[in-house]
A and B are shown apart, each in its own frame.
Chain A
Amino acid sequence: MSAQPEPVVPQRTPYGGGAAAPTSAQELLGGRQRMVAEQPANPAALALPGRSRRPLRHLGAAVRWALVLFFSALFLYPFAWLLAASLKPRGQVFDNRLIPKTFSPQNYSLVWHELPLGNWMLNSIFIALASAVLVTISSSLVAFGFAYFRFPGRGALFSVLLATMMLPGAVTLVPNYLIWKNLGWLGTNVPLWGGSLFGSAFYIFLMRQFFMTLPRDLFEAARMDGCSAFGLFWRIAFPLSRSSAIIVFMFEFQAAWNNFTGALIYLNSGDPTSYTVPLGISHAMTMYSPTAGGHGDYQYVMVASLLVTLPMLVIFVLGQRHFIAGVTTGSSR
């Protein structure tokens, strides 16, 4: 916020009030020229095709809206299907009805006894919260280090950081497993959030982008007043970065909540109560399958699938502005 008026001030002061007039006059002139240039073109060139184009344009809009509604239905159908299936009794889960023939709301209370879903939920919430909180703080710290302080090797290290973003995760899968094993944390959920202590390249990049917009004077003034280097970050930079920090927090919360591969590698061999919701659902899918000796109680899989999805949908609807800002920053790199 404070970054925006800052650059305007030094521009105005050297020229004083007098210099502002010609620039605005030039703008006015430019604007007038544009209008003059458009006026003869408008009636002559556009009048004739304009009339014939109007019904076409309406047709185009109608086709566009029809397609948008069609795709919306396509994207929403699996959600509606899931909701309906979660309310059906055992034999009807596959009948594709969007309104169940027999309503079975008791699925939602029975599932907690059928599956250790309560444990899975607590594990997932803990892992997602720990990852998101830790990675937000650690990434911001590192990003502030890169953005504000000048030190030898800064540019080179930042290039390394950007390069690690391209590193495929599959390559370090096995050795990372062995590292956690040697640290003695296999069978615990530490490997699923421990990495967050060290920041994450994309989030560091994102936070640094924000910190670069903060005026240096802000920190120099605080420094004169005896603020420590950590104080510059914790009391000034980090509180100002709230909107970027929310992006990082939400991205990581989603990534950790949805993380299936990690849970499979680090928790699969442990006690079923130590599973996360995604790993638990995967096991339940197998457990209920008739080929594995189950009775086809897929309605519980559907309830659990719905319950693991719902928090993500709520988070997105509440914070979609931040999500979209984060996604598009990633692509405009």
Chain B
Amino acid sequence: MPEPGRKVRPRRRPSRLRRSEARAGYLFIAPWCIGLLIFTVISMSWSLVLSFQHYDVASGTGTPAGLDNYRLLASDPTVGKSLGNTLFYAVLAVPLDILLALLLACLLNGIGRGSGLFRTLFYLPKMTPTVATASVFLLLLNGNSGAINTVLRLFGINGPQWLADPNWMKPSIVVMTLWSVGGSTIILLAALQNVPREYYEAAATDGASPAQQFLRITVPLVSPTLFFLTIVNTIAALQVFDQSYLLFYRDGNASVPDAARFYGVYLYQQAFEQFNFGRAAAMAWLLFVIILVITAIQMRVSRRMVFYEGGDR
């Protein structure tokens, strides 16, 4: 009889301790749980409900709208146009940013001493508030008096009307985005610095050219970082808002062409200029699905292309 009693006791004490530990744990993570509930669970559910409603902002009430908002997505030509603009921008900006970052990171990695100073210089644009960047680039990109076209003229090139020509409005934003390529650069530089020097020495003794070393050693070993940057930069590019809004749609001037009206800008205009909250919610869900699909495709493709070290360690 005393035997089972003894057995139970040592079990019970840790369980009480464990319960108090669990309680403390829940208390500690409570702030995040509350935030998750309000700003993710409730928010996303509300967004879904809104997308099936006509929402009246003044009274704060919604009336059922069935699939109206989603049907409008298909019939409103600006939705398709802005989606096309956004994809065009992403396809242009994401690879250019990563390629330029890779070039800059290799340069910094190659100069050895002094790279710290230049790493700082390259990163400074990334620290600059977008508003300040836009106010400067608005004038640098000016087709007539801007510094960019002035320099191009020195080489005999007649620069485009960056901000006025619909064909050059998206590239203008790409140029502005590329100025802050330093963000991707320092991430890639950290990855490059983790590649063991012996690999290059071994390859050099085997007679591998610098180009071969780059393609066979550098690229595979930093491919997880390249993959990370592709995913993160794509998600950011699909939501781009600030740059386009500040350069083109800030003053609500209706005569500005649609060429740089990105999906994020149109979503903002639908919600906070037109107060079509239901339609904006439907647009947001469409964007969410598009981002999910694109990310899933990138992950699928990456399985074949990304090299993960660690099997041998």
Contacts and interface: CB of A to CB of B under 8 A. Distances in A.
Nearest to A72: B121
Contacts of B235: 166, 168
Contact of B238 (A79, A138, A168): A168
Contacts of A157: 29, 33
B201 to A, nearest CB: 9
Nearest to A152: B22
Which of A46, A138, A173, A197 has the most chain B CB atoms closer than 10 A to its own CB? Answer: A173
Contact of B120 (A60, A316, A331): A316
Given A169-B239, A171-B284, A75 B29 contact: no
B168 interface: no
Determine chain A's interface SS by DSSP, over half rule.
helix
A174 B132 contact: no
Interface stretch (A11-19, A24-32, A286-294): A286-294
Given A176-B43, A281-B135, A78 B205 contact: no
A170 B289 CA distance: 12
B164 interface: no
Which of B28, B111, B119 has the most chain A CB atoms closer than 10 A to its own CB? Answer: B28
B32 to A, nearest CB: 4
A257 B131 CA distance: 11
Determine chain B's interface SS by DSSP, over half rule.
helix
B291 A150 contact: no
Given A68-B111, A316-B124, A317-B120, A161 B129 contact: no
Interface in B26-46: 26-29, 31-36, 38-40, 42-44, 46
Contact of B135 (A138, A291, A305): A305
Interface residues of B, number: 93
A305 B138 CA distance: 13
B187 A331 contact: yes
25 contacts: A68-B108, A71-B104, A75-B122, A81-B136, A85-B139, A142-B31, A151-B21, A168-B287, A168-B288, A171-B47, A172-B39, A174-B284, A178-B46, A198-B39, A264-B245, A281-B135, A282-B246, A291-B253, A305-B136, A306-B132, A308-B131, A313-B124, A316-B124, A324-B119, A330-B187
A198 B35 contact: yes
Interface string A48-74: 000000000000110011011001100
**Can you list the 7 inter-chain pairs with the closest CB atoms, starting with the nearest?**
A198-B35, A145-B28, A149-B25, A151-B22, A229-B24, A305-B132, A151-B25
Interface in A154-191: 154, 157, 160-161, 164, 166-179, 181-182
A303 to B, nearest CB: 11
A168 B136 CA distance: 28
A333 to B, nearest CB: 8
A309 interface: yes
Given A175-B46, A199-B32, 20 more contacts: A68-B118, A71-B104, A71-B107, A94-B142, A142-B29, A168-B239, A171-B285, A178-B50, A181-B60, A254-B127, A260-B130, A261-B241, A265-B272, A277-B129, A285-B246, A301-B135, A324-B186, A327-B190, A331-B228, A332-B225
A172 B140 contact: no
Contact of A82 (B110, B120, B136): B136
Given A75-B121, A151-B21, A312-B128, A331 B191 contact: yes
Interface of A: 41, 45-46, 60-61, 64-65, 67-68, 71-72, 75-79, 81-82, 85, 93-96, 138, 141-142, 144-146, 148-152, 154, 157, 160-161, 164, 166-179, 181-182, 195, 197-199, 204, 229, 233, 254, 257-258, 260-261, 264-265, 268, 277-278, 281-282, 285-286, 289, 291-292, 298, 301-302, 305-306, 308-309, 312-313, 315-317, 320, 323-324, 327-328, 330-333
A328 to B, nearest CB: 4
Given A152-B22, A195-B39, A198-B31, A175 B47 contact: yes
A206 B23 CA distance: 23
Contacts of B119: 324
Interface of B: 18, 21-29, 31-36, 38-40, 42-44, 46-47, 50, 60, 104, 107-108, 110-111, 118-125, 127-140, 142, 145-147, 150, 179, 182-183, 186-187, 190-191, 205, 225, 228-229, 235, 238-239, 241-242, 245-246, 250-251, 253, 264, 267-268, 271-272, 277, 280-281, 284-285, 287-288, 291, 295
Contacts of A82: 132, 136
Given A150-B22, A328-B190, A198 B267 contact: no
Contacts of B225: 331-332
Which of A151, A315, A333 has the most chain B CB atoms closer than 10 A to its own CB? Answer: A151
A6 B43 CA distance: 45
A94 B145 contact: yes
A141 B120 CA distance: 32
B151 to A, nearest CB: 9
B122 A261 contact: no
A138 B288 contact: no
A278 B42 CA distance: 30
Contacts of B190: 324, 327-328, 331-332
Nearest to B231: A166
Contacts of A144: 28
